Amino acid sequence: MALRVFILGGLLIGAWLALRRTPLARGTRIRTWLAIGIPLLAWHFTVWQFARTGGFEARSRTGGPLPLIPAAIFLPLLIFLPPLLRSSRVTAMLDAVSPAWLVAFQVYRLRGGVFLLHWAEGALPAAFALPAGIGDVLVGVLAVPAALYLRSGHRGGRGAALAWNALGILDLVVAITMGALTTTGRLPVAIQNTATRSYPLVMIPAFAVPLSLILHGLSLRQLRRGPQGQSQEELGTLAA
């Protein structure tokens, strides 16, 4: 729970500080912040309530027309990521702050080491826990060095940040794939993968994974924009 408070609080505070550095009018900044914060908190609260009452676990036992964990991963991407990438106000936010921030923020991926702990306790199969846990820890460990290298302005900093994003996305794709194979039985394992359907561990695939993918998308968008950011014409339009 403390980690989720850190993530949500960090995103909300970071979004407001970034908006304060844009040329947007105060009212527009407030509306933009609320447009980001309210859906973020509602999304988290919905997933959290469903998870803590055993919804994912019960649905996996009874079955249903829609696999819930894959839906919990991919629906937020379809709902939130396209509008965020297209929004001129979000673009203004990204242009107003160092791209190192979104990279360093994902230091929280170190939390993925919990998969390794569950594997060591015999609660998760190695086929899932090792790639998911090692990958998350590696991404979390490299987040701050990659961010510092990027912030230094060194010639290779942007390339390092792009490579870090690629590694982070690959880690999540591998974890999603191995999680699906080991929970459905398509990949036979000695230890059944049920822990990732139970609260609180289910909050990682059901909330942290899609959020991390969204942050990777925004980071890549910010890096693609380059150091020049918005043109003066764009800034004038936003300020109007």
Min mean pLDDT across 27-31, 69-73, 117-121, 236-240 is at 236-240
* Residue 230: pLDDT band with limits 50, 70, 90: very low
Global pTM?
Answer: 0.91
Q: Find the mean pLDDT for residues 143-159.
A: 95
For residues 180 and 141, the model is more confident at 141
d(C-alpha 150, C-alpha 159), whole Å = 8
Q: Name the residue range of residue 59's domain.
A: 2-239
For residues 193 and 112, the model is more confident at 112
Overall domain count for the chain: 1
Residue 63 is predicted with a pLDDT of: 52
* Residue 223: pLDDT band with limits 50, 70, 90: very high
For the chain, first and last CA: distance in Å? Answer: 41
Percent of the chain with pLDDT over 90: 79
HEC string of the chain equals: CHHHHHHHHHHHHHHHHHHHCCCCCHHHHHHHHHHHHHHHHHHHHHHHHHHHCCHHHHHHHHCCCCCHHHHHHHHHHHHHHHHHHHCHHHHHHHHHCCCHHHHHHHHHHHHHHHHHHHHHCCCCCHHHHHHHHHHHHHHHHHHHHHHHHHHCCCCCHHHHHHHHHHHHHHHHHHHHHHHHHHHHCCCCCCCCCCHHHCCCCCHHHHHHHHHHHHHHHHHHHHHHHCCCCCCHHHHHHHHC
Tokens of 105: 């923020």
Min mean pLDDT across 92-101, 170-179, 194-203, 214-223 is at 194-203
d(C-alpha 19, C-alpha 28), whole Å = 9
Residue 194 is predicted with a pLDDT of: 86
* Residue 61: pLDDT band with limits 50, 70, 90: low
Instruction: Please say if the pLDDT value at position 37 is more than 70.
Output: yes
